[in-house]
Every structure is written in C-alpha cells, then in structure tokens.
Amino acid sequence: MLPFEPSQADLFGRWSLMRLKMQLLRYSQGASFSRAQGLIFLSNYARNTIQDLLKTVTPHTALIPHGIEERFMHVPRPQRRLEDCTEAQPFRVMYVSILMPYKHQLEVAQAIAALRQQGLPIEANFIGAPWGQYAQAFQHLLQQLDPDNHFLKYTGHAPFDRLHGLYHEADAFIFASSCENLPNILIEAMAAGLPIACSNKGPMPEVLGDAGIYFDPYSAPSITHALLQLAKDNTMRSVLAQAAWQKAHAYSWKQCADDTLAFIEHVVHQHKGGF
C-alpha cells in the first residue's frame, strides 16, 4: 500500500529515494490497474483507498484475502496474572516486522521503556530484518533506553519456518504498523492465540475487529496506555486471545485459491461476452 498512501511514503523522507520509488510505482501500477479487466484486493481498506486515489473503477473486482499456514494455529493458553510476572519471568511482548519507519518500532520501544519506569516486569522482543537508517536509529535508541539489553531485545531476522514457534513463546503481541495491504503478521499472531495490542490505522481494525486493544502508532503514550491495559487484565487478555484465534480461522489458503480461480473464470467469461 505504500505507493498508494503518500503520507506513509513521506515517512522515509520527503526527498528520499524510497519516496521517489513509491511515486513511480503508484503511476506504473495505477496504469496497470486501469487497463485490467479484473482486480483482486486483499482488504476492503485497500480496495477503497486505491480506487479513491486513482479515481477509476475497474468493472470486476473481488475481495480475496490471503490464507495462513496451519502451523501457526495454536489454541490460546491460560493468561498469567501480571502479579505473577517477575524480573526472571517477565511479561513478554513480541513484535514481528521489518525495521521500517511505518512499522513504528521506535515508538514501541519508548512505550516499553515507559512501562518499565512504572515498575512493570515487562520486556519486548523485536524480530525483523534491519532496513537502512531506520534500523540504525532503532538500535541507537535501544542502547539509550536499555544499554544492558535487559528488557528491549532485538534478534534480527528469523527464518519463516521458525516463526510459529517464536509466537508461542510470547505472552502478548503488538502490531504497530500504519500501512498494510493485508497484515499477514497480525493474522499469524491471531492464529497463535495471543492477546494483541494493535495499530488503529489502515486495514488493521478490519482484520482484528473487536478482538484486540487499539492505539495510535505515532504516539508512544498511546501505545503505553494500550499495553498497560493489556498487561494488567489477564481476564480480558483471555477473552481477546480467544476471539482473535477464532477470527484467524477465516484465513484459508484453500479458500483463497478456490476464490481466485473462480474470479478469474468469471472475468474471462464476462470478457468473452463483450465486457
């Protein structure tokens, strides 16, 4: 979605090569979309945003989200009380995403540090490949906030075939992105049975619905407040984790494949009929 959300591309710097790349992609992809006889969108948010920006209407569109692999599915576990968490066994928050400006890892780290200052036994594990100057800024911030690497941990890239196991080591998940087409990582965390604090931007509320706590990803205090709510109430965490896990069952690769083939067949049939 970065090519179709200029404000998000601006996060890379107004005169950056990445912003220029997004502008070029918007023009080239927009031209392709306008010539297409059918378009598949992954979320209603993406469909509405792209069509509003391009001011064009393709005759045939479909909403067909991606699926997730079965290995991510894990029945929600009993939620620990915050009172039972300790320095040795802290409340573990996990965030999986490449380090990029629109993923807002800087704000998440600041929020975790603020909760530590309040005395909460909480830690965050950031997983994701580094990218450019943002990764440097993020690692510099971690050194400032937690020089002993005690509660802010960055483990870099993790192989995709190991991710499901890493999800199962966390007590809660945070997803702070402000720009997504379909947030597959969010859906993986839902499938893993984790309680989730989530960005209120883009298609995230469409995907997670009422099965999470929301925050403004641009605001570290907003993230702090959401995580504090999540950490303090283990009963609410149990309810949210169960609801998110149930919602994750809607994302099936078989359904995605069946719907995609059916839509292609429909478009071909309509085109042969003179459309």
Statement to judge: residues 244 and 109 lie in one domain: yes
Statement to judge: residues 82 and 172 lie in one domain: yes
Partners of 199 in the β-ladder: 215
Statement to judge: residues 28 and 138 lie in one domain: no
Q: Is the pLDDT of residue 145 over 50?
A: yes
Statement to judge: residues 48 and 94 lie in one domain: no
CATH of the domain at 120: 3.40.50.2000
- Total count of domains within the chain: 2
For the chain, the C-alpha Rg in angstroms (whole number) is: 20
Q: Please give the model's pTM, rounded to 2 decimal places.
A: 0.94
Integer Cα distance of 227 and 29 in angstroms: 38
pLDDT tens digits, one per residue of 182-227: 999 999 999 999 999 999 999 999 999 999 999 999 999 999 999 9
Residue 114's nearest CA partner among 229, 231, 223 is: 223
Q: Which domain holds residue 116?
A: 70-248
Q: What is the mean pLDDT of residues 224-249?
A: 97
Asked if residues 60 and 37 have their Cβ atoms less than 8 Å apart, the reply is yes
Residue 182's nearest CA partner among 61, 42, 49, 1 is: 42
Q: Torsion over CA of 74, 254, 60 and 63, rounded to 10 degrees?
A: -10
